[in-house]
């Protein structure tokens, strides 16, 4: 048996598709609304969550046999908060510009319900290695949706990708704007993130009817 068994692959790949934390479990919606107006913060948030969730799952898994069940939620909160503060401090010291750009997002990770959800549902009952993979998998599943939403919101809302104008200049009317195209300002507002997530859920369910609940 190699380092990654078939079961382990499932741990990583399932959350990307049929067990996606955002589109199937509908967790982590709050941060998906807040930060996806542009592509860059979406990617950065995805990377930060991968780090925190992967590491946090390992820590919780290592402690799973000594945590008193009465206070396990508080313990989980402390673990995630500690990790997030350490990440924040290290970024401030060694990647100052990046940390400025992330500003509140780093703190927002603490409130991400996917993290607490995975601690509670998986890491508390499994060994460190599978917990690590589960954390990475779920964070990737979360990140993929974030990046898709961020891509469409930035492209249609501001006509840019990573801040670069890809559809022409709206002020001097070049590119697409020359033939009457306009940016949809509504796309940069949070409600459109919900609608884009809704469309992704729709597409996913129509491709895989097994996901549709029977009434």
Partner 1 sequence: MAVNKDSNVYTIIFTVIMVLVVGSLLAGFASVLKPTITANEKNEKQQNILYALGINDNEESGAATFITENVEAEFKKYIKTQYVIEGSKSTENNEAYLIDVKKEGTKAKKAGYVRKLPLFVGEKDGKEVYVVPVRGKGLWDAIWGFVAMDKSMTIQGVYFDHKGETPGLGAEIKKRFFMDDFAGELMLDGTTFKGVAVAKGNNDPLNNIKDDYEVDAIAGATITGDGVSAMLKKDIKMYVPYFQSLNK
Q: Which residues bind partner 1 (CB under 8 A)?
A: 35, 37-38, 41, 66-71, 75, 78, 82, 85-86, 89-90, 92-94, 96-97, 100, 103-104, 153-154, 157-158, 160, 163-165, 171, 185, 188-189
Check if the beta carbon of residue 187 is closer than 8 Å to that of residue 152: yes
SS3 at position 127: coil
- Which tokens belong to 155? 């492209």
| Shortest separation between residue 19's beta carbon and partner 1, angstroms | 29
Residue closer to partner 1, measured from CB, 75 or 148: 75
| Shortest separation between residue 176's beta carbon and partner 1, angstroms | 17
Residue closer to partner 1, measured from CB, 97 or 215: 97
| Shortest separation between residue 50's beta carbon and partner 1, angstroms | 20
CA atoms within 13 A on the CB side of 144: 17
Residue closer to partner 1, measured from CB, 118 or 153: 153
| Shortest separation between residue 153's beta carbon and partner 1, angstroms | 8
Other C-beta atoms lying within 10 Å of the C-beta of residue 37: 20
Residue 14 buriedness (CB in 10 A; 0-12 / 13-18 / 19+):
middle
Residue closer to partner 1, measured from CB, 68 or 209: 68
Residue 134 buriedness (CB in 10 A; 0-12 / 13-18 / 19+):
buried
């Amino acid at each position: 048996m190699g380092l990654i068994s078939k079961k382990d692959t499932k741990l990583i790949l399932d959350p990307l598709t049929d067990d996606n934390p955002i589109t199937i479990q509908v967790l982590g919606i709050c941060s998906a609304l807040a930060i996806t107006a542009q592509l860059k913060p979406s990617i950065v948030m995805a990377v930060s969550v991968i780090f925190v969730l992967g590491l946090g799952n390992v820590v919780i898994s290592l402690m799973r046999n000594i945590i008193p069940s009465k206070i396990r939620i508080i313990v989980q909160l402390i673990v995630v908060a500690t990790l997030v503060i350490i990440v924040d401090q290290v970024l401030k010291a060694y990647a100052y510009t990046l940390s400025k750009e992330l500003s509140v997002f780093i703190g927002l990770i603490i409130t991400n319900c996917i993290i607490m959800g995975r601690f509670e549902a998986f890491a508390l009952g499994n060994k460190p290695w599978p917990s690590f993979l589960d954390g990475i998998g779920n964070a990737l599943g979360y990140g993929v949706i974030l990046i898709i939403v961020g891509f469409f919101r930035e492209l249609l809302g501001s006509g840019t990708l990573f801040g670069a104008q890809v559809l022409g200049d709206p002020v001097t009317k070049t590119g697409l704007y020359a033939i009457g195209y306009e940016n949809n300002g509504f796309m940069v507002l949070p409600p459109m993130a919900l609608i884009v997530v809704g469309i992704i859920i729709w597409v996913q369910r129509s491709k895989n009817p097994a996901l549709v609940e029977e009434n």
